Amino acid sequence: MNMFSMRQGARARRPQGSSWMVGASVAVLALAFGSQASAASIFTGNLVVSSLTYVGDASTVTNGQALPNCTGGSCVTAIANGSYGQVFQNDTVDANFGVTAPYALQFFSAKGTTATYTSTYAIPNATFTGSFSSKSEGAINVTPDGKSITMLGYNAAPNQIDISNSNTPGGTETGNTDVAKPTYRTVAQVNANGTTSFTNTNAYSGNNGRAVILGGDGKYYMVGNAGNGNGDGNTAQITGVQTITPGSPSPNTSQIGKVNAAAYGVTDKKPAKDNNFRGETVFNNTLYVTKGSGSNGIDTVYEVGQIGTVNASTNIAVLPGFPTDAAKTNTANFYPFGIWFANSTTLYVADEGDGVLGHAASDGNAGLEKWSLVGGTWVKDYTLQLGLNLGQNYTVTGTDAAGETGSYTTATDGLRNIIGKLNADGTVTIYAVTSTASDGTGDQGADPDKLVAINDLLANTDPNGAAGESFVTLETAAYGQVLRGVALVTPVPEPATWTMMMLGLFGLGGALRARRKSAVATA
């Protein structure tokens, strides 16, 4: 039980009179000593960030070895070994290239735009990893009860090659050039008590799952992309928004709706790619998703529908006022990723930029966009960029997991996943993970990125009123590490803190009881 739920329960049961303090203190003291969940809680801070750390070494990939990217029986060969400083050069010859790596959850005690690191929890990785360096993966979301965190990954051990474009066991795409072992995409639910449950899925064969939310109806709602070749088989049915029941013995999922891009004047040769979603959130029990990559469909923000009522026939529609031009042209220069509703009329959208280093400094959308609902239509108020230093190089130096020392230079290009909170003074604080752009060879998804925060006045819609608002860097990823998702949870005090708190309540209850007895005796 977390502190919030304990307090809410106490309020609900609170009788009249000071004797409540005595009963409550005894009951809660017993709970504190008897609750294993509280004693073992991993939620040591209110701000959580998922990170991926490369754990390969020079032997993980050998220069000249055959890679699992094959067409017509011919496979490409590696041009670099597996050390972090070189390994992602293989992306230039193998478009499927990636190496699985373990996830961890970093906890911070955050207040406004300040944060203090508290602990790191390593997610068990024998059969759950992410793909280093798939930049669209690793989002984290908190379950409705606040006691767990959900994320999507792969049913694979660390240091496996090209898993992110592999087929799933039940979703074979015959035209897929990635011939790595068919691998389930997997939902991990990490609980506050330190246990983790896994649910395998056949969704997103040939590509990757990006995010997952546990809905109020008890089902997982996932977003991602499927297909890496000609899109044959059931690829179109296992992409986009998918749902599955936690712990399901069957890995088969159900698709939730589709985008009708033709209704907006956009036609594609691969309509399944119109549902290539990356970010997702739930607000007022309604699911919203974003698309910000690929050359098909529309890069924009979509409304899916109410949790529990959406199904395969649901029309996934563009939010009124958001761009509707074709992704292949993207004249709006709009690349949305994470989204967060501050209220029913204020929406914050993370824009990651186009990935071109020379464009970052002049990109008017990259960063944090604020949108307001006016007369039923969403209107962009302004974009917050100050402090992100878009397009300006920074260098991270350090030692990787193999003990090799090196440096990595990149630049911030925009933002990916975000989360926010309302403050009592009328402001909101937004926490975000940055996107990157670099001019070196290899994969930009391997660039060490940043955790940043900014305060914004909620009621303001004037760009001039936000001109002085600036991002603060809370953390820069280490050499060989990337940051991915961000969430806010309710932390649980350490056991010693619980004991002191409960003993204090017990003592206060006893003092009040003694005072009452004294008053009766002297009456």
Q: Which domain holds residue 207?
A: 42-491
Q: Which of 490, 451, 452, 473 lies closest to 50, judged by CA? A: 451
**What is the three-state SS of 236-254?**
HHCCEEEEECCCCCCCCCE
pLDDT (tens digit per residue) in 140-198: 999 999 999 999 999 999 999 999 999 999 999 989 999 999 999 999 999 999 999 99
Q: What is the CATH number of the domain that holds 322?
A: 2.120.10
Tokens of 464: 């001039």
Sheet holding 286-291, edge to edge: 258-259, 315-318, 300-306, 286-291, 280-283
Residue at 472: amino acid letter:
V
Q: CA 305 to CA 317: how far, in whole Å?
A: 9
With respect to residue 163, please indicate whether it lies within any of the assigned structural domains.
yes
**CA distance readout (Å), 276 to 151, 166, 367, 470:** 18, 17, 21, 32
- The answer to the question of residue 505 being in a domain is no
Amino acid letter, residue 350: A
pLDDT for the residue 322: 98
439 located within any domain: yes
* Contact (Cβ atoms closer than 8 angstroms) between residue 448 and residue 478: yes
| Distance from C-alpha of 490 to C-alpha of 43, rounded to nearest angstrom | 7
The overall average pLDDT reported for the chain is: 88
Q: Which residue has the tokens 């100050």?
A: 386
Is residue 109 within 8 Å of residue 491, measured between CB atoms? yes
List phi, psi (to 5°) of 344.
-70, -10
Low-confidence ranges of the chain (pLDDT < 70): 1-40, 440-442, 493-523
Q: Is 274 exposed, middle or buried (0-12, 13-18, 19+ CB in 10 A)?
A: buried
Q: What was the pLDDT predicted at 508? A: 46
**Length, in residues, of the chain:** 523
Q: Is the dihedral of CA 316, 318, 324, 328 positive or negative?
A: negative
Cβ atoms of 282 and 269 within 8 Å: the answer is no
The kind and range of the H/E element at 3 are: helix 3-13
Q: Is the CB of residue 432 less than 8 Å from the CB of residue 338?
A: yes
Question: How far, rounded to the nearest angstrom, does the alpha carbon of residue 45 sit from its chain's CA centroid?
Answer: 17
Exposure letters 69-93 (e unless 16+ CB within 10 A, then b):
bbeeeeebebbbbbbbbbbbbbbee
Of 149, 147, 28, 115, nearest to 492 by C-alpha is: 147
Looking at the structure of the chain, the number of domains it has is 1
Name 61's Cβ contacts closer than 8 Å, sequence gap at least 6.
Answer: 67, 78, 80, 81, 82, 87, 90, 99, 161
Residue 26 lies in a domain: no
Structure tokens at 409: 């230079």
Residue 16 lies in a domain: no
Residue 517 in any domain: the answer is no
Tokens 């969403």 identify what position? 378
DSSP conformation letters of 81-143 = -SSTTTGGGGGGT-TT--EEE-EEEEEEEEETTEEEEEEEEEPP-SS-BEEET-TT----EE-
Q: Is residue 327 part of a domain?
A: yes
Does any domain span residue 157? Answer: yes
Q: In this predicted model, what pLDDT tens digit does every residue of 317-367 receive, in sequence order?
A: 999 999 999 999 999 999 999 999 999 999 999 999 999 999 999 999 999
Q: What is the pLDDT of residue 22?
A: 29
Q: How far apart are CA 367 and CA 473, in angstroms?
A: 14
Query: Tokens standing for 516?
Result: 């009452």
Q: Is the pTM of this model over 0.75?
A: yes
